[in-house]
């Protein structure tokens, strides 16, 4: 008889977006003619930039000829991509990295989910509340969270509430934690942390020998000067932080798959004798065993995002999404909704009217305005009473959606 990993039985309900999809499908069956505008799931809608397509096509052609065909590549990624990443994303911001501190992968989702494997099962970890659900669920599967309790939380997780009172910015934990997940610009709240705010976390981690798992999947959307794009812009972060990045939202790679993780050689984890081990070495060992690299055409395509044409095309797309974000944010504010985010991120986090429960607001918005968003409760208990809208849509749909919300839900 094969036994189940019982940790999987602790996972509550269905995954947030499956439940949303189920409700939409039901609504469509009941209202086949409704013109639904989806501003729920965080997927891009604009195609890959022409420079990326050109590079990918060329790489595919190379694979057709014996003299340029490539089989397995390095698990860590081709050096031609790693060098471009360092040169474009880090050196200009004063961050020095060596090529063996960059690990190319097929997604920040897999990397953020898999990374917890390197930590002992008794580590206590902290997450913001609300949070991107992958950090929590991957730790549940590993057995690091204890039971799901009546408050709708896991016993052993340290939750850091982000609320209207603290401006959606988490306070330092009051009890010791070993691992800290931070995501800035944040999904779902769309907020960022300043250099001084991030420094507090780096200092905390240094004092407690904790590790910060920093998800910067949305760094490309930062518009304001002075907002850190990388945790490594903060003094001391090389000792205590790992950073996850992705081409998904930056360059439209959600269906193409390319990301990377930065692990400075100084970041250590400790064994029961107190001896230090390098996370960089452990991740290399893990990846060479469980991962066989990102395909050559995809890595060649990712390099094109750093060419002058690629950069210009990416900028245009991000500007387009961020104009949508502005339309959503200002449109909702104008009629009195309280909103967060949407300035340095493609997400707008709105307070539901009259403290309505977030799933009720989801149903109301779908039924009355035919607009789909994401209920805040799906991101954690502190997300109750909030709702996430995304800027990943056409201008026309974005304008139409805001008009409908403002007219139909008065």
CA distance 356 to 359: 8
CB 346 within 8 Å of CB 391 = yes
User: Which of 192, 254, 313, 393 lies at the binding interface for ligand PLP (CB under 6 A)?
Assistant: 254
- Looking at the Cβ atoms of 132 and 296, the one nearer to ligand PLP is 132
Residues with Cβ within 8 Å of residue 302, at least 6 apart in sequence: 52, 81, 104, 247, 251, 253, 258, 294
DSSP codes joined into one string, 352-369? PGGG--HHHHHHHIIIII
Tell me if the bond preceding 185 is cis, omega within 30° of 0.
yes
Which residue stretch of 53-61, 199-207, 246-254, 298-306 sits at the interface with ligand PLP (rule: CB under 6 A)?
A: 246-254
Using the minimum distance from each CB to ligand PLP, give the nearer residue, 126 or 369: 126
Identify the DSSP state of 28: H
89: contact with ligand PLP by CB under 6 A: no
**Number of shown-chain residues binding ligand PLP (CB under 6 A):** 14
Decide: is 77 part of the binding site for ligand PLP (CB under 6 A): no
Separation between Cα atoms, residue 17 and residue 378, nearest integer Å: 9
Rg (CA), the chain: 21
Taking each helix axis from N to C end, the angle separating 50-63 and 308-334, rounded to the nearest 10 degrees, works out to 140
Residue 259 in the binding site for ligand PLP (CB under 6 A)? yes
CB of 110 to ligand PLP, least distance (A): 6
Tell me how far, at minimum, the Cβ of 321 lies from ligand PLP, in Å. 14
Regarding 38 and contact with ligand PLP (CB under 6 A), the answer is: no
Nearest to 128 by CA among 97, 164, 157: 157
CB of 349 to ligand PLP, least distance (A): 13
Q: Shortest Cβ distance from residue 408 to ligand PLP (Å)?
A: 28
Contact mark string toward ligand PLP, 108..127, x via CB under 6 A: xx--x---------------
Residue placing its CB nearer to ligand PLP in the complex, 90 or 214: 214
Q: Provide the minimum distance between the beta carbon of 65 and ligand PLP in the complex, in angstroms, as a whole number.
A: 31
Q: Rule CB under 6 A: say whether 192 interacts with ligand PLP.
A: no
- d(CA 274, CA 264) in angstroms, rounded, equals 20
Contact between 215 and ligand PLP by CB under 6 A: the answer reads yes
Q: Which of 114, 248, 280, 287 forms a contact with ligand PLP (CB under 6 A)? A: 248
Q: Determine if 132 is a binding residue for ligand PLP (CB under 6 A).
A: yes
Q: Does the protein bind ligand PLP through residue 295 (CB under 6 A)? A: no
DSSP labels, 177-211? -SEEEEESS-TTT-----HHHHHHHHHHHHHHT-E
183 versus 365: smaller Cβ distance to ligand PLP:
183
Interacting span for ligand PLP (CB under 6 A) from 58-66, 92-100, 107-115, 220-228: 107-115
Question: What are the distances in angstroms from CA 377 to CA 60, 119, 156?
Answer: 43, 28, 20
Binding site for ligand PLP (CB under 6 A): 42, 107-109, 112, 132, 183, 187, 215, 217, 246, 248, 254, 259
């Amino acid at each position: 008889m094969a036994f189940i990993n019982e940790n999987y039985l602790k996972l509550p309900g269905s995954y947030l977006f499956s439940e949303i999809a189920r409700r939409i499908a039901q609504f469509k069956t009941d209202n086949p003619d409704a013109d639904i505008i989806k501003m729920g799931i965080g997927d891009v809608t604009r195609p890959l930039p022409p420079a990326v397509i050109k590079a990918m096509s060329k790489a595919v052609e190379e694979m057709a000829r014996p003299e340029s065909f490539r089989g397995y590549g390095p698990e860590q990624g081709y050096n031609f991509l790693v060098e471009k990443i360092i040169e474009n994303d880090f050196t200009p911001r004063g961050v020095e990295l060596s090529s063996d501190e960059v690990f190319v992968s097929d997604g920040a989702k897999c990397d953020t989910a898999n990374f917890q494997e390197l930590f002992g099962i008794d580590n206590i970890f902290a997450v913001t509340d609300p949070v991107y659900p992958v950090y929590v669920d991957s730790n549940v599967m590993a057995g690091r969270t204890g039971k799901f309790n009546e408050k709708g939380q896991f016993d052993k997780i340290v939750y850091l509430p982000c609320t209207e009172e603290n401006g959606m910015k988490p306070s330092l934990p009051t009890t010791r934690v070993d691992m800290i997940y931070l995501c800035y610009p944040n999904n779902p709240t769309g907020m960022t942390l300043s250099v001084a705010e991030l420094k507090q976390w780096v200092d905390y981690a240094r004092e407690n020998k904790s590790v910060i798992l920093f998800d910067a999947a949305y760094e490309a959307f930062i518009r304001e000067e002075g907002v850190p794009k990388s945790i490594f812009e903060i003094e001391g972060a090389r000792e205590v932080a790992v950073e996850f990045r992705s081409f998904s939202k930056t360059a439209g790679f959600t269906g193409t798959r390319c990301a990377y993780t930065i692990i400075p050689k100084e970041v250590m984890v400790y064994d029961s004798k107190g001896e230090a081990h390098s996370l960089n070495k452990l991740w290399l060992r893990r990846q060479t065993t469980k991962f066989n690299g990102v395909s050559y055409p995809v890595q060649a395509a990712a390099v094109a995002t750093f060419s002058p044409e690629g950069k210009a095309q990416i900028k245009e797309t991000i500007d387009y999404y961020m104009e949508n974000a502005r339309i959503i944010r200002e449109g909702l504010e104008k009629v009195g909704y309280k909103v967060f985010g949407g300035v340095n991120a493609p997400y707008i986090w709105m307070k539901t009217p009259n403290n309505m429960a977030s799933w009720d607001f989801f149903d109301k918005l779908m039924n009355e305005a035919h607009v789909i968003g994401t209920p805040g409760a799906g991101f954690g208990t502190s997300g109750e009473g909030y709702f996430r809208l995304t800027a990943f849509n056409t201008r026309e749909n974005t304008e139409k959606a805001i008009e409908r919300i403002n007219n139909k839900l008065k």
